[in-house]
Amino acid sequence: MSEILVLGAGMVGVSTALALQARGHEVTLADRREPGRETSYGNAGIIQVEAAEPYAIPRDLKTLLSFGLGRSNDVSYSLSGIRSMVPALMRYFANSSPKGHAKAAESYSQLTGRASEDHQPLILASGSDNLITREGLVILLRGAQAFDEAAAEAERFKAAYGVQSRIVAGEDWRREEPALRLTPAGAVHYTDSWSVSDPGALTQAYAKLFETRGGRIVTGDADTLARSGEGWQIATSEGPVSAEQAVICLGPWSGVFLRRFGVKVPMVLKRGYHAHYDAPMRPRRPFLDAANGVVLSNMRLGMRMTSGAQLVPQDAAADPRQLRRAEAAVDALIELGPRLEEPQWYGSRPCLPGMLPMLGALPGQPGLWTNFGHGHQGFTLGPTTGTLLAEAMEGAHSPLLDALSPATQLA
């Protein structure tokens, strides 16, 4: 048993703290804000067991051109954003080759495949079952060709990874989802994914569970982390906190943080936005409107629309053009109703070029561990990678842990 400091209280940090605590360690969780107020707050709230393959950069010229010319609503960018991420984007692009992507998927599918099982005990113990809907995730296709392609991919996922789905023709789907105002070409219904009606509240409920079980949560800036004897120390509102080991779970801020330790982690930060609408009729299940690159999910606050990727510098001002572009098209599909007034939220998917989270011991920094870079699925993967990191800290070895380790990914 040892004293461990977990830096960052998003879904990943909170879940890591819980996993270490469950193994008898004395854990302090530090964040500059309350738990679950950043990326883990504003996402689409899907526990994506269907996401067996990580998101690769498309390599065909047609898709790249549609991104470059701003024709697709999946991606937007600024030149300064692209410039700031060139090395990471180049490595990400190289790893997105069919061979590189298949290799990453071999590890990734082992993570997403167990994600809901890993959430379940925490959902129950934190009294959060009322936030969870177990109705799957839908990919809604407006055109026949897109439907055929999505159906073929679902069949491939079923054969390769055992991901369960139903392929449903547009007319039939409309009968299942009366909120639809027009008939799509069809829907792929991934049946085993779960959705959460308030992702920030689930993260906070897990944090509360950690406290109830004897864990300590403090307010402090990770940038004050310094060596102290054999261990680590940070300054907090309760004074200095020391521990033998520290874990970096700073999500999209992890790359910049590590520069202080001379470690360069190339990261692609894919910013996304959300907005809420007072939709008069809500669909039963969350869905991706594939033609418009937005996800619609039922939230306690309203119908939440989340946008695709925007490649801009981390400190760039809000520019929710992807939400605006999608609004009219989505409204033709389901009546969105009035947009709720709230400050414009945005957050970044912390993506690493290898498309895997970086989890394990940081080379050259004894007692410093990492668990970040969960990209498009960090809300899904928190409890899973938290458990795996706790195992790694106790000396476990496996091909999966090797693939995820900083030693492998930074080589």
Q: Does 9 bind ligand FAD (CB under 6 A)?
A: yes
Show the binding pattern over residues 246-265: x = contacts ligand FAD (CB under 6 A), - = does not: ---xxxxx------------
Ranges within 14-53 binding ligand FAD (CB under 6 A): 31-33, 37-40, 43-46, 48
Count CB atoms within 10 A of the CB of residue 133: 17
Q: Does 221 bind ligand FAD (CB under 6 A)?
A: yes
Minimum CB distance to ligand FAD smaller for 108 or for 379:
379
Minimum CB distance to ligand FAD smaller for 48 or for 107:
48
Minimum CB distance to ligand FAD smaller for 134 or for 397:
134
Q: CB of 139: closest distance to ligand FAD in angstroms? A: 13
Number of chain positions touching ligand FAD (CB under 6 A): 39
Phi and psi for 189 in degrees, rounded to 5? Answer: -105, 105
Show the binding pattern over residues 315-354: x = contacts ligand FAD (CB under 6 A), - = does not: --------------------------------xxx-----
Minimum CB distance to ligand FAD smaller for 95 or for 377:
377
The residues near 270 (Cβ < 8 Å, ≥ 6 apart) are: 308, 309, 310, 311, 348, 349, 351, 375, 376
- CA–CA distance, 371 with 390 (Å, rounded to integer): 10
Q: Does 122 bind ligand FAD (CB under 6 A)?
A: no
Minimum CB distance to ligand FAD smaller for 170 or for 255:
255
Q: Which two tokens stand for residue 219?
A: 């307010």
Q: How far apart, in Å, are the Cα atoms of 60 and each of 76, 157, 268, 333? A: 17, 21, 20, 29
- CA–CA distance, 166 with 398 (Å, rounded to integer): 34
Q: CB of 240: closest distance to ligand FAD in angstroms? A: 15
Asked if residues 170 and 139 have their Cβ atoms less than 8 Å apart, the reply is: no
Q: Which two tokens stand for residue 101?
A: 């992507």
The residues near 288 (Cβ < 8 Å, ≥ 6 apart) are: 137, 138, 139, 140, 294, 295
> Which residues contact ligand FAD (rule: CB under 6 A)?
8-13, 31-33, 37-40, 43-46, 48, 221-223, 249-253, 272, 274, 306, 347-349, 372, 374, 376-380
